Structure 1
Amino acid sequence: MIQKILNNKLLFIFIHILFGYLGTFSFFPKAFGLVCLIVPIILIISTNNRNEESFLFAAYIVGAEIFVRMIGGFFLYETGKYGVVLFLALGIFMGPFKQKFSIHYLFYILLLLLGIVFTQVPEGESLRTNIVFNLSGPIVLGFSALYFYLRPISKQKLMDGLFFMLLPLFSMVTFLFFRTPDLKEIVFGTAAMFETTGGFGPNQVATAVGLGMVILTIFIFSKEKLTGYLYLDAFFLIYFTYRGLLTFSRGGIFTAVIALIFFSFFFILYKKMSMQVIFKYLLILVFFIVGIWVYTSNITGGMLDNRYTGKNAAGKQKEDITTGRGDLLFFQFTSFFEHPLGIGVGNGKYERMKSNQRITAASHNEVGRLVEEHGLIGFVLLLLLLIMPLINFFKSNNLQKAFIITFYLMWFLTINHSAMRVALPGFIYALSLIRITHIENGLIDDK
């Protein structure tokens, strides 16, 4: 089954575009959500994970999580994260044992759970929900890291995993197309647009669309066969970018752009491209960016320009372009200095409520949440997360560095604007730990 999908990429892209349309009907969501869980479990067990089925299906559900949440396909809201942990856990204990054991990430998981000891919630609030909401994302990271730490994965298998991750993103953007009203009827302002994201959180949608932009660009740069037609690949990239800009949520788009700049730099070093070739690609890129920006800006009545330059609908510069995230991060570090042992998992929101702080929302920044709620232990865990991929990075060649730095930056930038609400950042982080191999003439070359 896996090979049939990989040998017929264009067919399965169109099948997933059809899934996006079917997502608008009530009979489809729950059935699709069940299939996303049951079929992978059956295949992983039946194949003993011989061909990294755990990796491929975990990648698929990472890409599908936001789409399935949008259509209400999961019986439990965090099912996507549970699925990733389950698939990778099956992969660890079944088939060839490939990964090197990492005591670092085992301690990471155990120390995370220690923060539960200090957790207290107000009367009427659910302790279980509070813990799951804040720790499920970091736990996904821990299990993913245990699976991928220095795991030898060929470049082709990595590209296969990225393709599996991309497939349900086609369903998501198709669903957005059918659920978005006529753009002429939308009054665009300078806030994130729920009208263009199917009524779902624009921040998470933009993060997923940004992931699609990154994967599509990697396929185009690597000259790997996606649809088999370069112009069709380019069209898909243009449409993903267009949908991402329409969300008016900047974090996911900025993350994609920054990650791709670094990917391009190391990929160019690896390919040893001439300045003439680089200049040609740069011209094409500039034409592409200007064209899609001008088109989208005209549709939004110029509000897109105001959004990305930090201005309000009247064109005046906003005092806080971070929409409160900067203040929230300041509060979190202040809390860390006042409570160096931490205040307990999920308690940050309630502490701000008690102190009558202006911003009481749950944290959008995982760095701030770690140090505020886990204290010094959280600070140590943060250093661990930052350092381990960099060790892998500096031991790699330029092609490997291109992928590792892309995954690393996508994780770090995402958790700084969207915390770990979804499985994506934790899973992407773990991909920066793999040992990417390249198979030539039947031999593995990982130099």
Structure 2
Amino acid sequence: MAKILDKNKKYRFTNDAYVALVVAHIVLGIFVNQIAAFSKLYFIIVTVFFVYKVSTVAKHRIKNWVLFGCAYIVAAEALFRMTDGGIFYEFSKYFVILLMLLGIAADGVSSRSYPYFLYLILLIPSIIVASQTLGANFNFRTSIAFALSGPVTLGVAALYCVDKRLTFDGLMQVVTVMIFPIVAMTTHLFLYNPSVRDVLVGTASSFATSGGFGPNQVSTILGLGMFALVVRFFMKSPTIFLKVFNLILLSAVSFRALVTLSRGGVVTAVLVILIFLMVVVMQSSYKWKARIRNSILFLSLAVATTWLVSSYETGGILEKRYKNQDALGRDKEDISTGRAELFADEFQGFKDNPALGVGASGMKQSRLEEMGRIVASHNEISRLLAEHGSLGIVILLILIFNPLIYRSSNRRNVLFYSFLAFWFATINHSAMRIAAPGFIYALALLNITYEKNPSRRKQLKREAG
């Protein structure tokens, strides 16, 4: 762990140009907010740039740029959706699939990836069932795409990433790349809604503080940014300036996450950050534990300050939201905001159709018939069981146990448990509405390597000579 935290360790563009890239994305956020058509231009430049890089770089660098491109578009997904920058709503998932397929064409896949071939095959029966059961109120193609684009994104990303060798510095670059578009989105949110107090009228999740878009998705992406900034703070902030700089960014991103009043993304961020800190502390020497404790103290002060400022700006509504109270301080009956009822409904769908389930998007059709409106699932586990039946159980076993089996023989990925926890927590409150959980899951399957000390290599060469 000491060599991981070595303050003299340098790594390429996301280190040398980190501050400049953050500032550039603050400017991009301003442009997105002020110029209506700029988001589409930004989107086009980003997608063309990463496809070009993946298609033209040397073969040994392809995996880096595949992961950079996926990390960037995953983190930018909510921004492009809220500003109508993308070509279509689910584009980010398809872009991740495209880059991963380009990577597979160039690099191939590991022999250890076969469980994810099986996983993808097991998704097919739900399409066949849906072709027989979906009613006239549903467009078959779009319904299938909406239900399965997230799971397919995870499957293709996992196929590519299983046992793919990547240096620890390369992994830190992937995490850092996610920070940049989240900084742009945070800037846009501050400009879109400069006064939180003026728009909050209750303790429900707020579209007004989320850029006019879904608070759950915005909170999830901002929570991912919180995690990425904490990793950067501990792993790649060798100077006081960079530590302060990253704490300021973390405070800004955390503030915007908190004031969405959508708890899922924030709670997930706290969970994965705590797991990350536990792993770092457990793997560190006594000397490094002392340094880490000092950093944790500064982090705690920044977090406490951010909470107090957020509470003040929301007029106390923030505390009531996290206590599951309404604006008048009365306790709400359902802490899950309807998710428990949806889970129970989907579990009943599984019990009624245990073999192959109700088919892709089948539960939405069931709710339309029973409730008179379409309600999408918030929980990927119950959706898998309801729509895939017993095959959903096999799918869940693959997704949960295959990474753990891989981990038993490869313990070098210090972010493994955080990545896996982010995936699991996110699919339990937001299903797979965005590409992030599928991509982050795949990162847990990477084979992380560590470069040897250059001076030691030179010494060995001299001795050999």
TM class by smaller structure: over 0.9
Residue in structure 2 matched with residue 85 of structure 1 by the alignment: 97
Residue in structure 2 matched with residue 248 of structure 1 by the alignment: 261
**C-alpha contact (below 8 Å) 1:49/1:91 kept by paired residues:** no
Question: So what's the TM-score if we normalise by structure 1?
Answer: 0.93
Letter in 2 for 1:20: G
Question: So what's the TM-score if we normalise by structure 2?
Answer: 0.89
Cα offsets for 1:3-53 (capped at 9, x unmatched): 556531111111111111111212312212212221111111111442121
Is 1:305 paired with 2:319? yes
Separation in 2 of the partners of 1:186 and 1:304?
Answer: 13
Tell me the SS of whatever aligns to 2:450. Answer: strand
Separation in 1 of the partners of 2:214 and 2:38?
Answer: 21
Once the two structures are TM-superposed, the CA of residue 282 in structure 1 deviates from its matched residue by 4.8
**C-alpha contact (below 8 Å) 2:14/2:173 kept by paired residues:** no
Residue in structure 1 matched with residue 447 of structure 2 by the alignment: 435
After superposition, the Cα gap between the structure-2 partners of 1:121 and 1:290, relative to the gap in structure 1 and judged at 3 Å, is same
Letter in 1 for 2:375: A
Letter in 2 for 1:266: V
**C-alpha contact (below 8 Å) 1:197/1:205 kept by paired residues:** yes
Q: Superposed, which structure 2 residues align to 1:119-268 within 5 Å? A: 119=130, 120-224=133-237, 229-268=242-281
Tell me the SS of whatever aligns to 1:436. Answer: strand
After superposition, the Cα gap between the structure-2 partners of 1:49 and 1:367, relative to the gap in structure 1 and judged at 3 Å, is farther
Letter in 2 for 1:217: V
Separation in 1 of the partners of 2:95 and 2:329?
Answer: 45
Letter in 1 for 2:127: I
For 2:43, which of 8, 33, 37 is the aligned residue?
33
Cα offsets for 1:131-163 (capped at 9, x unmatched): 111110111000100010011111100001111
**C-alpha contact (below 8 Å) 2:209/2:260 kept by paired residues:** yes
Separation in 2 of the partners of 1:282 and 1:128?
Answer: 49
Count how many residue pairs are aligned between Structure 1 and Structure 2. Answer: 439
Tell me the SS of whatever aligns to 1:389. Answer: helix
Residue in structure 1 matched with residue 6 of structure 2 by the alignment: none
Separation in 2 of the partners of 1:38 and 1:347?
Answer: 36
Q: Superposed, which structure 2 residues align to 1:218-367 within 5 Å? A: 218-224=231-237, 229-273=242-286, 280-341=294-355, 342-356=357-371, 361-367=375-381
Residue in structure 2 matched with residue 11 of structure 1 by the alignment: 20
Cα offsets for 1:251-287 (capped at 9, x unmatched): 0000010111111111001113477656545543443
Tell me the SS of whatever aligns to 2:86. Answer: coil
Letter in 2 for 1:47: V
**C-alpha contact (below 8 Å) 2:115/2:402 kept by paired residues:** no
After superposition, the Cα gap between the structure-2 partners of 1:347 and 1:48, relative to the gap in structure 1 and judged at 3 Å, is farther
Separation in 1 of the partners of 2:244 and 2:210?
Answer: 26
Instruction: Give unpaired runs (5+ residues) of structure 2.
Output: 1-10, 458-465
Is 1:380 paired with 2:394? yes
| Residues 426-435 or 63-72, more deviating | 63-72
Q: Percent same amino acid among aligned pairs? A: 35
Residue in structure 1 matched with residue 384 of structure 2 by the alignment: 370
Once the two structures are TM-superposed, the CA of residue 66 in structure 1 deviates from its matched residue by 1.3
Residue in structure 2 matched with residue 46 of structure 1 by the alignment: 56
Residue in structure 2 matched with residue 115 of structure 1 by the alignment: 126
Separation in 2 of the partners of 1:64 and 1:227?
Answer: 29
Once the two structures are TM-superposed, the CA of residue 396 in structure 1 deviates from its matched residue by 3.9
Letter in 2 for 1:349: K
**C-alpha contact (below 8 Å) 1:10/1:226 kept by paired residues:** no
Instruction: Give unpaired runs (5+ residues) of structure 1.
Output: none
Letter in 2 for 1:387: F
